[in-house]
Structure 1
Amino acid sequence: MSEIFGPTVQGEGPSLGRRCAFARLGGCNLSCRWCDTPYTWDWTGQANSGIAYDPRKELRTIPYTEVRDQLAAFDVPLVVVSGGEPLNQQGRLYPLVRDLRDSGHDVEIETNGTIAPDPRIAKLVRFNVSPKLAHSGDPKSRRIVGNALSAFAALPGSAFKFVCRSEADLDEVAALVHEYGLDSVWIMPEGQNQTALDQSLARLRDAAISRGWNLTTRLHIIMWGDRRGV
């Protein structure tokens, strides 16, 4: 576990602005150069920050019941499980999701879409799937896994959120949407401060709308900048 925090709001995608709490897990199977949470996985300084984080300081093992109780104490209707890549830990994640749903919480899982979901979890949550484009820096063979994307596309309620920098990125999105039959497509500008977000959004907005796709900003960046734990 990297972080547990709230009350806050969901900053991205279909639930933008909803009151929630976050459980952020550690570890990732990708290494996006622009990642905004490199402290969850980057132990060698691969991301643009160039910082090699120490997993002994950044991660800790916590019983799922303790995580559940901390999240429930925030008294919010929605829990977002993020990372890193949460589906690296599906076996351990299931009882947490099960208990949260039993207590009346909605649960969303943020995932890069490279790991097919456990059917037990898929029945309980909505997935916000964020396949990575070429500008992430990882080879396509790592960042695009066809059987996993097809599995998410078959689930009702899945949303597909793409981090884009320029209008040219939208052609890459269009190819994935066509190949895997993706629905509920959300285009999100890349940027870790409001100026960068505004510039990216200005480049993307008209072309994204003309293609029939949704737009999302990054509300938490607008509200708090690059602070952690908010």
Structure 2
Amino acid sequence: MTAAGPTGADLTAGDAALRLIVMECFGVEVPTFQGEGPSCGHPALFIRLSRCNLSCAKCDTKESWDTSRFDLREWSSKRTVEDLVAWATSSPVKLVVITGGEPLLQQARLVPLVEALLAAGKRVEFETNGTIAPMPELLVDGVRFNVSPKIASFGMDEAESLVPAVLEVFVASGRAAFKFVASSVADLDRVAELADAHQLAPVWVMPEGTTADAITATTRVLADAVAARHWHLTTRLHVLAFADARGR
């Protein structure tokens, strides 16, 4: 067995050598917060994986998948599980957010990473688009899923972005919150249809926007209608606090 970083969590030699395609890691050298969803405002470390199975027009991390505009080799690197565990355990921060791209594209290689992080006393949140069912090995204590299905207004064909069978898996797991990006009350009507059809709960609504002014304006458009439905409302804290700077 090989020690995985300063925590002493053990990985087999094979697990330690597994490599993930990573776009960026941040939160150790310059501390930050989880900016969205149920853990908004919690100190957090981020492991952002590269590659996605969707191509949303309003995606804010197109560097992770859009080969028409970016050379993905320049925007990503391969890092071992051992390296990522050592990086995360160098910080006292407990929450590790694994995001993307779409992280569950690499989930077989994520299992040993998550196991080592949990053994080191961390808790893990996945940010996923809800089109890929999680492996049973990831449905364990200490792991949560922020599932963000993409509706048509986000610039994605719902025939591709909404996968009912996968949403059912997340609902049944009891480990998921469902977070929707919205810019209008009409968007909330569509979210309500989906929530009713697939029994999605809890529902979180996040205002669309990449500037503080846009976030504030959209929040005011949505707030009463979100409250009337007894849903949760989240801001985008990284936009408000850090002006949407990369790595914050």
TM value normalised by structure 2? 0.88
- Written as runs of structure 1 = structure 2, the 5 A alignment for 1:62-73 is 62-73=79-90
Alignment gaps of 5+ in structure 2: 1-21
Structure 1 residue 23 corresponds to structure 2 residue 41: no
Say what the alpha-carbon RMSD is for the aligned residues: 0.9
Deviation at 1:24, TM superposition (A): 0.2
- Aligned residue for 1:110, secondary structure, equals strand
- Aligned residue for 1:174, secondary structure, equals helix
- Supply the distance in 2 between the matched residues of 1:140 and 1:167 (Cα, whole angstroms): 18
- Aligned residue for 1:188, secondary structure, equals strand
Deviation at 1:226, TM superposition (A): 2.2
Deviation at 1:220, TM superposition (A): 0.5
Residues 56 and 156 of structure 2 are in contact (CA less than 8 Å); yes or no, is this contact kept in structure 1? yes
- Supply the distance in 1 between the matched residues of 2:187 and 2:173 (Cα, whole angstroms): 25
Deviation at 1:74, TM superposition (A): 2.2
- Aligned residue for 1:187, secondary structure, equals strand
Residues 88 and 115 of structure 1 are in contact (CA less than 8 Å); yes or no, is this contact kept in structure 2? yes
Q: Which structure is higher in strand share?
A: 2
1:182 to 189, 194, 200: 200
Residues 139 and 175 of structure 2 are in contact (CA less than 8 Å); yes or no, is this contact kept in structure 1? no
- Aligned residue for 2:73, secondary structure, equals helix
Deviation at 1:68, TM superposition (A): 1.1
- Supply the distance in 2 between the matched residues of 1:53 and 1:221 (Cα, whole angstroms): 23
Paired residue for 2:247?
Answer: 229
Deviation at 1:57, TM superposition (A): 0.7
Larger of the two Rg values belongs to structure? 2
Structure 1 residue 3 corresponds to structure 2 residue 24: yes
- Supply the distance in 1 between the matched residues of 2:175 and 2:223 (Cα, whole angstroms): 24
Q: Count residues in correspondence.
A: 223
1:14-55 deviation digits (Å, cap 9, x = unpaired): 1010011000000001111111111111111xxxxxxx1111
The runs of at least 4 aligned residues of structure 1 exceeding 2 Å deviation read none
- Supply the distance in 1 between the matched residues of 2:56 and 2:91 (Cα, whole angstroms): 31
- Supply the distance in 1 between the matched residues of 2:85 and 2:235 (Cα, whole angstroms): 29
1:168-218 deviation digits (Å, cap 9, x = unpaired): 001110011011111110000000110111111111000010011000000
